[in-house]
Amino acid sequence: MNYRHSYHAGNFADVAKHLAEVAILAHLAKKDAPFAVIDSHAGRGLYDLGSEQARKTGEAEAGIERVRALSGSPLLERYLRLAATDGGQSYPGSPLIAARMLRPQDRLTAIEKHPEEAVLLKQALAPWRKARVEEGDGYARLLAQLPPPERRGLILVDPPFEAPDEFETAARTVRAAMRKFATGIYLIWYPIKSTAAGNAFAGEVLASGTKKMLRIEIAIDAPEGKLGRAGLLVLNPPYGFDAEMEAALAIAAPPLGARTKLDWLAGEA
């Protein structure tokens, strides 16, 4: 599976993923104590929605463009403000959204393997002194960063799922990360090609021993061979996170033509 994000930035799955990211970071910011954000597969940070890649798929038009004017949920409204880049001509990736939510005491480590993407990422994050880019393997560099000195934070695992063994590698890395930083909040994105495959991946992550794990799924009708279903696994979600997400998705899903599902795989709210 090839999931180059320049083709898919701002699609239905991004809307759900970035809503979750904003909700988690807003929760962490409720306390004065500093937090860390570690993004294992950060990408380029900013995506041109007028690019040939974006126009070829039209996924942003069927995603972020359908929800920009919505209101009625504080979480959704905050996400849309953060996503309003260059008058809607660009869309921010997860590291740029995180950077925009950092306070002076917080920091971001964004890891990107591909040299060309890492250069663009450094440019996108240049205005933020506490945002640092590391060029290297996301899985190895993530584990080297744990536990963060702050002992609070969000670990975002959002690989491209290009390698045949990516699901196994991602699950194995999360299990290792939990052994080093069991109290962190983890947000893990994955494409769902089948219910069985999605359940198997969730089961492998659940084997980390986490006491609380929420699964969020979002699906649209998509042509054969196109991404039509994606999931988020949230380990140690903050109190009230599920209700916030349900309220935001209840407003955002209908314009996206999406179906959503939230269920607890371990623990409860």
Running along the chain, 269 residues long, what does each successive block of 10 average in pLDDT?
64 97 98 98 92 76 95 97 88 97 98 96 97 97 97 96 93 97 98 94 96 97 89 98 98 98 91
**Residue ranges of domains in the chain:** 5-266
Residue 222: name the closest of 9, 68, 57, 2 by CA.
57
Residues whose CB is less than 8 angstroms from the CB of residue 53 and which lie 6 or more positions away in sequence, other chains included: 4, 6, 7
pLDDT of residue 6: 62
Residue 101: name the closest of 75, 122, 121 by CA.
75
Cβ 183 vs Cβ 238: under 8 Å: no
pLDDT of residue 9: 87
Omega of the bond prior to 147 within 30 degrees of 0, cis?
Answer: yes
Residue 125: name the closest of 136, 115, 134, 113 by CA.
134
DSSP 7-35: GTTTSHHHHHHHHHHHHHHHHHTTSSS--
Helix ranges, the chain (H): 12-28, 52-57, 64-67, 74-83, 94-101, 115-125, 138-144, 166-180, 195-206, 241-256
| Known catalytic membership, residue 221 | no
Active-site residue, from 14, 39, 106, 158: 158
Residues whose CB is less than 8 angstroms from the CB of residue 24 and which lie 6 or more positions away in sequence, other chains included: 154, 185, 187, 234, 237, 238, 241
pLDDT of residue 128: 97
Find the length of the chain: 269
Based on the number of CB atoms within 10 Å of its own CB, is 212 exposed (0-12), middle (13-18) or buried (19 or more)? middle
For domain 5-266, the CATH class is alpha beta
pLDDT of residue 112: 96
Q: What percentage of the chain's residues is helix, strand, coil (to nearest 5)?
A: 40, 20, 40
- Reduce the DSSP state of residue 262 to 3 states and report it: strand
